[in-house]
A and B are shown apart, each in its own frame.
Chain A
Amino acid sequence: MTEHPSYTSWTEKELAASLSRFPERYKTFYHHGGAEIPRLSVPTSIGQDYDEKIGFPGRYPFTRGVQPTMYRGRLWTMRQYAGFSTAAESNKRYRYLLDHGTTGLSVAFDLPTQIGYDSDHAMALGEVGKVGVAIDSLADMEILFEGIPLDKVSTSMTINSPAMVLFAMYVVVAQKQGVATEKIKGTIQNDILKEYVARGTYIFPPRPSLRLITDIFRWCGKNTPLFNTISISGYHIREAGSTAVQEVAFTLANGVTYVKTALEAGLELDHFARRLAFFFNASSDLLEEVAKFRAARRLWARIMKDLGANKPASWMLRFHTQTAGNTLTAQQIDNNIVRVTLQALSAVLGGTQSLHTNSRDEALSLPTEESVRTALRTQQVIAYETGVANTVDPLAGSYFIEELTDRIESEAVELMAKIDQAGGVVACIEDGFIQRQIEHSAYAYQREIESGERIIVGVNKFQVEEESRPPLLRVSPEVEAEQVDRLQQLKASRNNDQVDQCLSSLRSAAQNDGELMEPVLACVREYATLGEICDVLRQVFGEYRDRQ
C-alpha cells in the first residue's frame, strides 16, 4: 500500500490504539492459496486510470459487465443442470423445471455417454443413468426433448469429448421438430482441455480433440449462429481444488489454446470468437469471487484484443456460473442453502450471464425435486427481492474490490506466462504441471480445515449430533438393464447397412483430415449409436489415458 496523506496518522493513532487493546482475530488474513488480505484498502490502493481499468459496462475492457444495462434490461438466465436415469425420466424433470420458471435447460449426461460408451459397454457397469441421463442414440435424444420446442428454449449440454455427436443429435431432433437449424440456441461445453486437467471425461488425445472442436466452430459458424460452440470451464478446475487465481489462469490459457488452434486451421477470429462462452465457479470467499469474475472479464478482453480481434463482441467474456459443489457439507445440510445463496450473490454481483444454484442435499446424492426447487427459488429471491439486480456492477469503485481485481488479474497473467514458457497448455497437461498445482492447492485447503485454521460451519466448528436423514433420490438399478434392452431393440430395427456405410464414410473423413460434422450428422440420422461413432474415431485417433 502506498502512502495516503491521512493513512500514516490513522495507523499511528486510531489503529495502533485499537490493536493494543483488541488484537485482531488472526495474525494474517489470507485467501485460499496464501495471498494476504489487506486490513483496509484506500484510494491509493487502486490506480487512477478509470477508463482503462474499470470503464463502462458494455465497453472495453468490460470490467463492469458485458451489457450497458446488465440486469436492468434482462435478468440472468436461471439454468439448472439436471438429468438422470432414462431420457423419459429426465424429460419429466425438464418439464417440471420449465413449469417452475427456469429459463434455460442444462442437460447432464451420464458418464458412459460423456466418455462415448454405449450403455452395454463393460466400463459402463454400474454407471448407466447415475450422474445424468443415458443417451445411446438419436432415439434417446428424441425422447429427451419430446414436447419441448427447441426454437423456444436454450439448451446447455455438458458434453465434451463426444460433443460433436450429441450436438449432431440435438440438431437432428430440432430439424425433426420442424425448427430451422439457424434458430436453435444454447451451449455445448465442448471444453476438452479441462477434462484432462480436472474432470476426466476425455476419450482422444489432445490434438485430434482440438481438431474436433475447431470443426464444430467452423460448422456452427455457418449453420447455428446462435449456438455457443464451447463453454471454456474453470468450474471443474476450481472444484478439483484450485485457487481463484488458478481458475482464471488455467481457464483463460485453455481459451487461448482453442483460439490459436482455430486460427491455425484458417478460421476468422471475429467470426468464431463471439460464440466462445465461459463457465466459472462461485465459491465461498464472496468478495474474492466478485473480483475474480471482473478480473477474468478484463483479462480476456485484453487477450483477445492482443490476438487481433477487432469486434467488441469478440472481446467479451460471457459466462455461466455454478455455485461450488465442493463447499456443500454432508453435515447440517440446510446450511448449504445459505452457502449457495451467498455464492449465487457473488455471481450476480460479478455480472454472470446465467446461473445454476446447487441443491442442499448434493453432498449426499442427486438432488430431490424439492431441494432443486429451493435452489431455483434462491435465484429468484436474489433477482426479485434483494434489489442487487437494479443497478450495474454495484461494487465497482470499492477500494478493496478494485485492488483485489487487479491482484487476481496480475497473478493470473504471471501464471499464464509460466505455462507459455513451459511449452503451452497441452505440454503442461501431458507433463502434469497443471494437475500438480491444483492438487497442491486442494491438499493445502483440506489441511487448513483439518487443523481448524479454516472454519467450515457444522464441520469443524458448531457441530451437532444429527439423527434424521433426509430423503434421497436414487436411480433404480433397473435403469441399466432397461437402457441396454432399448439399445438392443434399436440395433435390430434400424437399417444396419446404412449405418455401416455412414460409419465408414466417417472413418475415411477422419483419416483424411476431412471435416467431420456432416459425416457425424449422417451417422446420427441413421441411428448409429454414440459408442459406434466414437469407436470409429477411437480407431483413427487413439485414446488418451490418465497421467498424474
Chain B
Amino acid sequence: MSKKYRVLIGKPGLDGHDRGAKVIAQALRDHGFEVIYTGIRRSPAEIAAAAVQEDVDAVGLSSLSGAHLRLFPAVVEELAKAGADDIVVVGGGVIPEDDIATLKEAGVREIFTPGATLEDVVNAFQGVCEKK
C-alpha cells in the first residue's frame, strides 16, 4: 500500500489477556500498517487521548472479559468529544452475536468474534482505513 495507515490497538478495561491484541498488532505490522499498542488495562479516555495524539486512522479494541458493551461505546464517545469522530473504531473479543447490533449502533464499525481469522481482521482494517 502506498499511503501508510496508522492504527492503535487498545485494551480497555481490566482484562489482561492480550495474546489476541498482540497477535493482531503483529499481523497488521506485517501487512504494512504502523501500529501503536497501548498495553493492557486502559480507560476509554486514555485510549481515545492516545489515538488523537497519534492521529491514527483507526482504533482496534479487544476485550475478552465481557465488558465490551460498556467499554467500546465509551471509546467512541471519548473520540467524538475530542473532535475525532472520523477515527474509526473496530472491536473484537468474546462477544456474543446478540451484542453486535448494539455495538454497531453505538458507532463501532466492525466486530470480530472468536473464529475470525487474521486475514479477516487485516482486511477489515484495510477497508475502514481506505474508506476514511
Question: What is A's interface to B at a CB cutoff of 8 Å?
Answer: 111-112, 114-115, 117, 122-127, 130-131, 195, 198-201, 239-241, 326, 329-331, 363-366, 439, 442-443, 446-447, 450, 459, 469, 472, 474-475, 477, 545-548
Q: Is the CB of A547 within 8 A of B19?
A: no
Report the contact-size class of chain B (Cβ under 8 Å from the partner): 20 to 34
Which parts of B40-55 form the interface with A (CB within 8 Å)?
40-41, 43
Per a CB cutoff under 8 Å, which of B26, B41, B65 touches A130? B65
Measured between alpha carbons, how far is A205 from B132 in the docked complex, in Å? Answer: 41
Contacts of B22 in A (CB 8 A): 439, 442-443
Q: Is the CB of A112 within 8 A of B41?
A: no
Q: How far is the CB of B78 from chain A (nearest CB, A)?
A: 13
The 8 A CB mask of B44-80 against A (1 = contact, 0 = none) is 0000000000000000000001111111001000000
Q: How far is the CB of B91 from chain A (nearest CB, A)?
A: 13
Contacts of A195 in B (CB 8 A): 16
Q: Is the CB of A475 within 8 A of B66?
A: yes
Q: Is the CB of A126 within 8 A of B115?
A: no
Residue of A at shortest CB range from B38?
A546
Contacts of B110 in A (CB 8 A): none
B101 within 8 A of A: no
The 8 A CB mask of B5-44 against A (1 = contact, 0 = none) is 0000000011111110011001100000000010111010
Contacts of B39 in A (CB 8 A): 545-548
Contacts of B37 in A (CB 8 A): 548
Known: A126-B68, A363-B115, A472-B96. 7 other contacts (CB 8 A): A111-B14, A126-B70, A241-B19, A330-B114, A365-B66, A446-B23, A474-B96
Contacts of A474 in B (CB 8 A): 96
Contacts of B97 in A (CB 8 A): 469
Contacts of A548 in B (CB 8 A): 37, 39
Q: Is the CB of B13 within 8 A of A240?
A: no
Q: Is the CB of A546 within 8 A of B43?
A: no
Q: Is the CB of A442 within 8 A of B13?
A: no
Contacts A200-B16, A443-B23: A546 and B96 contacting too (C-beta < 8 A)? no
Per a CB cutoff under 8 Å, which of A112, A130, A442 touches B19? A442
Residue of A at shortest CB range from B14?
A111
Q: How far is the CB of A389 from chain B (nearest CB, A)?
A: 33
Q: How far is the CB of B41 from chain A (nearest CB, A)?
A: 6
Q: How far is the CB of B33 from chain A (nearest CB, A)?
A: 15
Q: Is the CB of B94 within 8 A of A111?
A: no
Contacts of A124 in B (CB 8 A): 14
Contacts of A331 in B (CB 8 A): 115
Contacts of B18 in A (CB 8 A): 200, 240
Contacts of A122 in B (CB 8 A): 43
Q: How far is the CB of B58 from chain A (nearest CB, A)?
A: 20
B113 within 8 A of A: yes
B118 within 8 A of A: yes
